[in-house]
Chains A and B, each alone.
Chain A
Amino acid sequence: MTATLDPAVETPTVEIGRERRRKEDAHLITGATRWTDNMVLPGMVHLAMLRSPHAHAKITSVSVAGALDLPGVVGAWTGADFPEQAGLPCAWPITADMKSPVRLPVAVDAVKHAGEIIAVVAARTKAEAVDAVEAITLDYEPLPVVLDMQAALADGATLIHPELGTNENAVWVFDSGTAGTGGSAVDALAAAADDPDQVVVERTFRQQRLIPAFMEPRSTVVDPTSDQITIWSATQIPHVMRVLIALSQGIPEHKLRVIAPDVGGGFGGKLQLTPEEVVTMMVARKLNKPAKYTETRSESLISAHHGRDQIQRLRMSARRDGTITGFDVDLLADMGAYLGTVGPGVPILGAFMFNAIYKIPAYRFTCTNVFTNKTITDAYRGAGRPEATFGVERMMDELAAELGMEPMELRKKNWITHDEFPFTTVAGLTYDSGNYEAATDQAVGLFKYDELRAEQSRRRAANDPVQLGIGISTFTEMCGLAPSRVLGSLSYAAGGWESASIRMLPTGGVEVITGASAHGQGHETAWSQIVADELGVPFDSITVIHGDTQSAPKGMDTYGSRSLVVGGVAVVKAAQKVVAKAKVIAAHLLEASEDDLEFAGGKFSVKGTDTSLGIAEIAWATFAAHNLPDGIEPSLDSEATFDPDNFSYPHGTHLCATEVDTETGKVTIRSYVCVDDIGVVVNPLIADGQIHGGLAQGIAQALYEEAQYSEDGQLTSGTFVDYLLPTAADLPSFTLGRTITPSTTNPLGAKGVGEAGTIASTPAVVNAVIDAIRHLGVTDVEMPCTPQRVWRAIQDAKSGSSSSGSSGSSGEERVPVAGAQVEGVLSTGVPTAPADDAGSNPDQNHSSNGGSA
């Protein structure tokens, strides 16, 4: 059992819990910024890339001769001109026999997706470089394009990487029966099928392809003109990048310095060693001149990694009283044409989250990663966990409908109660703390759940053309990536620790160095609050340094809601070491025993006296070093590296009310309430901001965004005209609540917040859309729930054809029903190709009917 605190009463510290305004803001609101693209160095050349217009082709000839003749052009190179280039590394080989293709920064001989780099030009100005790209001549021999995952796996499919002999990247399985964490899901589902007292619900859901779409396009500047090559890049991972370049490109790590200056968002999208970074480095080294490459937005959308893109075939069994008896998850995950830095592992992170907050006795997870002729996929906000949460929360609503139960009651019947923590799940994780009842009670109250249900009944009875829907998502996630041993057991190449150090300056200032490199999260403010409490020094006396491998030499960087619960804890541990070192010197200076000293409010006091010494005074005395104990080094500076024993498990209850116009299909969010339990909150202002932004991205997946490809493999949503990021006018105001059940896995009691809103909100919105029109016979609408898709699902239901996603009992058939749905409705007379034909791609159907939001 774990304790849930009353946030109004619990104020144990001075700074932690305060709504401090951010230190980061001053330069950002005045334009005094240091974005990578702002950098100008003497003699710097500008790069432009020639990118493949074909999704799959042999390059039969390529010549840069024409480009070299143009004004300002310093050099132009094809892939063959970079004999030094080596394949970009994938750090997560999820299985021993995983198939891993070589991914060169500049393609040689063949291209596997549209947007792949074929040649690069360096010129005096960006405009001259772009002009010169036009003068490069080349010939292609187009090859058949494979976009659909089922088609890619079919016998006789065109192989994207013939040398691998298959388009299957890997198959990863978790079975609670063999793992000893539960029963066999296969047996449980078979038994349920034969049991009149049980039901089996089977659904196929599609996680559409998304684009992280950070606001700052990626940019890299490389200065090769010193012993250490300096790389500035718009990246989330300066430390990891340095290691990856050293491992893959033959440049010793100690000859590299990586700097992430101001970075304009990432959301996982800058968690990557990119071809562009390596190309810029290679050109700078060839010319021995600084070089800069900044992508256009169109280049970003087509070549920076995408996210999600799964087909989920889910089967859940339950007794008629609602008790879940088994859950079988079978995924296809689209890797795109190559493997990203952690791409293959992203869907695997979902393996531990499909069981969510529920006590499920038997569980199996199978994921097949597939290569297609599309841009690679990799981490995007939530990375594996949004997919899992969507799958299970949609299934809970489907099961409730099947059983005729109230969907919240079904959840309550199956969730882990607060007195059952710590709880080891069927997926093998031990949830340390949580209180799903408390969060749900608060959310239900804020949402006026019962009143909305009553209104829904009235409007349903009145046959209102605009129907009200209520969507629930009671979620948890695993944050704080990650215990290094766990990462090791999952075959990830590196650990999950984080580093911090603290420098006590002689004049009273404090420098905090963190390995968690921020790009909008507010670490400078939050870390200052933590250190202010630990050391008793003023908030404004603290400076946080990050994002430069020279000044912050150790780190694992920022992703996976890890910064506070791993990096913040490292800061706490470093501060505690400072206090321990200071205590020895304080005892000496106060002529007291260490045992008689207590430290509070930045002062060491001799117990029972008014004799004390401030930590700033000790810092000066240590600097002067005139009177230190024998054998004590003249430094209070300390370093700590924290490796968590366990993940942390934020949870929450998200409730969404939608108005769905049954005549037009238009979905409007009427209200959105979320109560998140993220443990102890360092800065409520920052935490709420993270939730707001997370909600926007999760809602965007539900309603707006989709990376669509044409049948020849062109990204048709390749600009912000076509890829629909929500604007202020598209989103409601959110109502946030909070419960605080401190995590027991770290001394801060924090759990992580960066991804919560994204993970929880998508199923809440889609459940609300379905709930509004389920009485019309609709059981699914594929994401994004555009007006056209919603309208079509209603028309399908009226005409008696199956509504999207409601896969029947068709055994091993893995083709998503959406294709059939479109075929049934479109009356164009165009015959639909058979399912085993590479040309029959459900994505194509989507691209023909999407974009109507």
Chain B
Amino acid sequence: MTALSIKVDGVRYSDEVEPRMLLVQYLREKLGKVGTVIGCDTSNCGACTVHLDGKSVKSCSVLAVQANGSEVTTIEGLATKGQLHPMQQAFHQCHALQCGFCTPGMIMQSISLLQENPHPTEHQIREGLEGNICRCTGYQNIVAAVQAAAGEMAAAAPAEAGRHALATAGAAPADSSGVLA
């Protein structure tokens, strides 16, 4: 067993875990963070995507002990003060989910996508979501939701958006976390 200290959705945890335990298993089995789900065993589907220190990762591809000292945000920690994240709102508005199983990972990856490129084209959105599989929607409304959220988030932070608009398409701004708060 190995000691692990981690902050998940704003709460600090200290645990002893088997070195082989995956981050997604730790989240689900030890912390009860069952909003994050497991859809495959080859890191193809992306259903388990969370943010590790602000970057999207497939939590099936990270050992829990690798996250020692890190901060993790899951789908359960996204809404703040009862307010949905604009991406959650956009998924609802655009009917970007059906069964909802891929949705946690899809939302987390979509947020990460906009962090890297706040004004993506449809093509860039499709490429950016390539690591997340949805079997229900045909992706059309997911793409629409990401576009809607991009607009919403840009409008909510015009100064940030202006700065991003000057950035070359595809070049990731160093810090866009202000847009996502």
Contacts and interface: CB of A to CB of B under 8 A. Distances in A.
Contacts of B127: 728-729
A617 interface: no
A31 interface: yes
B38 A522 contact: no
Contacts of B139: 692, 696, 727-728, 731
A434 interface: no
B137 A692 contact: yes
Contact of B143 (A21, A35, A728): A728
Interface string B139-160: 1111100000000000000000
Contacts of B76: 30-32
Given A29-B107, A30-B75, A696-B138, A265 B42 contact: no
B84 interface: yes
B130 A35 contact: no
Contact of A685 (B37, B95, B125, B131): B95
Contact of B99 (A213, A216, A296, A727): A216
Contact of B42 (A520, A522, A720): A720
Nearest to A521: B98
B136 A520 contact: yes
B92 A29 contact: yes
Contacts of A667: none
B35 A32 contact: yes
A38 B34 contact: yes
Given A29-B88, A689-B141, A720 B99 contact: no
A231 to B, nearest CB: 19
Contact of B95 (A127, A686, A728): A686
- Category for how many chain B residues contact A: 35 or more
Given A264-B101, A689-B95, A689-B141, A213 B135 contact: yes
Contacts of B132: 727-728
A268 to B, nearest CB: 12
Contacts of B131: 727
A25 interface: yes
Interface string B53-90: 00000000000000000000011101100001000100
B66 to A, nearest CB: 18
B98 A693 contact: yes
A727 B122 contact: no
A113 B157 CA distance: 58
Nearest to A733: B140
Contacts of B41: 296-298, 719
Interface string A25-46: 1101111110101101000000
A28 B103 contact: yes
Given A21-B92, A685-B95, A695-B138, A720 B44 contact: yes
Interface string B101-138: 11110010000000000000010011101111111111
Contacts of B170: none
A262 interface: yes
B173 interface: no
Contact of A29 (B36, B39, B100): B100
Nearest to B146: A728
B47 interface: yes
B177 interface: no
A721 B44 contact: yes
B2 interface: no
B97 interface: yes
B14 interface: no
Contacts of A206: none
A366 B91 CA distance: 46
Interface string B1-44: 00000000000000000101100000011001111111111101
A297 to B, nearest CB: 4
B113 to A, nearest CB: 11
A599 B44 CA distance: 55
Contact of B98 (A33, A127, A689): A689
Interface residues of A, number: 56
Contacts of A262: 100
A69 interface: no
A442 B138 CA distance: 23
Nearest to A299: B41
Contacts of A263: 99
A22 interface: yes
Given A215-B45, A262-B100, A689-B98, A127 B18 contact: yes
A82 interface: no
B74 A31 contact: yes
A29 B91 contact: yes
Contacts of B98: 265, 520-522, 689-690, 693
Contacts of A35: 34, 37, 101
A214 B34 CA distance: 19
A24 interface: yes
Contacts of B133: 215, 720, 725, 727
Residue from A263, A690, A696, A697 having most chain B Cβ neighbours under 10 A: A696
Interface string A514-529: 0000011110000000
B40 A720 contact: yes
Contacts of B40: 297, 719-720
A215 B101 contact: yes
A26 B20 CA distance: 34
Contacts of A28: 97, 100, 103
Contacts of A267: 135
A734 interface: yes
Given A696-B139, A721-B42, A729 B126 contact: yes
A617 to B, nearest CB: 34
Contacts of A37: 34, 37-38
Contacts of A692: 137-141
A731 B95 contact: no
Nearest to B91: A29
A652 interface: no
A470 B22 CA distance: 48
B102 A31 contact: no
Nearest to A269: B135
A455 to B, nearest CB: 22
B84 A693 contact: no
Given A30-B84, A265-B99, A721-B42, A25 B141 contact: no
B103 A29 contact: yes
Nearest to B32: A40
B135 A265 contact: yes
Nearest to B125: A728
Contacts of A25: 91-92, 97, 100
A298 B44 CA distance: 12
Given A265-B98, A689-B141, A728 B35 contact: no
21 contacts: A22-B92, A28-B100, A30-B35, A30-B75, A30-B78, A31-B76, A214-B99, A215-B39, A215-B101, A215-B136, A264-B99, A265-B136, A297-B42, A689-B137, A696-B138, A720-B42, A728-B125, A728-B129, A728-B132, A729-B130, A731-B126
Interface of B: 18, 20-21, 28-29, 32-42, 44-45, 47, 74-76, 78-79, 84, 88, 91-93, 95, 97-104, 107, 122, 125-127, 129-143
Nearest 10 CB-CB pairs, A to B?
A31-B35, A520-B99, A28-B100, A264-B101, A696-B138, A692-B138, A720-B44, A31-B75, A38-B34, A520-B98
Given A30-B35, A216-B101, 10 more contacts: A31-B35, A127-B18, A214-B99, A215-B39, A215-B47, A215-B136, A265-B98, A692-B138, A696-B139, A719-B42
